[in-house]
Amino acid sequence: MSIYIDSANIEEIKQALDLGWISGITTNPLLLAKEGTEVSALLKDLGHLTSGSVFYQLISETFKEMIEEADRALDILEDKLVVKLPPTDLGFKVCSQLSTRVSCCPTAIYSPAQALVASEAGAQFIAVYVNRATRLMVDGIQLLVDIADVLTNSPTDILAASIKSPDEAFQSIRAGAKHLTLPFDTLTQMSDHPLSQEAVDQFKRDGAGLEK
């Protein structure tokens, strides 16, 4: 399992990576736009921050331009790049072409049928939008169960995305997701529990350890 930070904000990403258990960075066009800076420079910075993967989503709208855009991202991020693609006929066609030489992740997946197509197109990951599915459609966790079921013998991994709480994060893994991408605030809540803090306080107050 890998846990990624879903952000394009350098400060958030630095703090997240400093935790020591984050495997890389996922971005999307909205997250990149929010930073209001040149995307190529930002991607370069993200690549320098992590030794893990950086997910970048193509925004071009023709086959040729998408391949060219992926190649530009590859020049910047080299083997850290995972190409995110829209789950459209064009996106899956580009995925089929690119997946022989770069990791691909069709994103905004909302159905087991899309997951099957992604798998056939050679995707290494699919990003399933869990919380958005719950809000807009059906139970996002049940969607993961269904997708995990149809991908049983597939090498395509489920990356649970659009996660809004630690509870949703663990339920996603229990439902069959292999990886998580979490926004900064959810990520920082993952290790917290009030009872753990109480125990830590008591150890500090009443306990003993090795002398310095």
Q: Which residue numbers are catalytic?
A: 84
Q: What contacts 187, CB < 8 A, 6 or more positions away? A: 3, 5, 16, 19, 22
CA–CA separation, 181 and 168 (whole Å): 11
Beta carbon nearer to ligand E4P, 28 or 119: 28
Binding mask 94-113 for ligand E4P (x = CB under 6 A): -------------x------
Of 11-19, 61-69, 90-98, 126-134, which part binds ligand E4P (CB under 6 A)?
A: 126-134
CA–CA separation, 114 and 143 (whole Å): 12
Of 60-68, 69-77, 86-94, 127-135, which part binds ligand E4P (CB under 6 A)?
A: 127-135
Beta carbon nearer to ligand E4P, 42 or 161: 161
DSSP per residue, 113-127: HHHHHHHHTT-SEEE
H or E, element range at 150: helix 140-150
What residues numbered 21-40 form the site for ligand E4P, per CB under 6 A?
26, 28
Long-range contacts of 16-19 (CB under 8 A, 24+ apart): 16/184, 16/187, 16/188, 17/49, 17/50, 19/187
Determine if 161 is a binding residue for ligand E4P (CB under 6 A).
Answer: yes
Q: Which of 110, 181, 186, 187 binds ligand E4P (CB under 6 A)?
A: 181
Judged by CB under 6 A, the number of residues near ligand E4P is 11
Q: Please give the residue ranges that form the binding site for ligand E4P (CB under 6 A).
A: 6, 26, 28, 107, 127, 129, 131-132, 161-162, 181
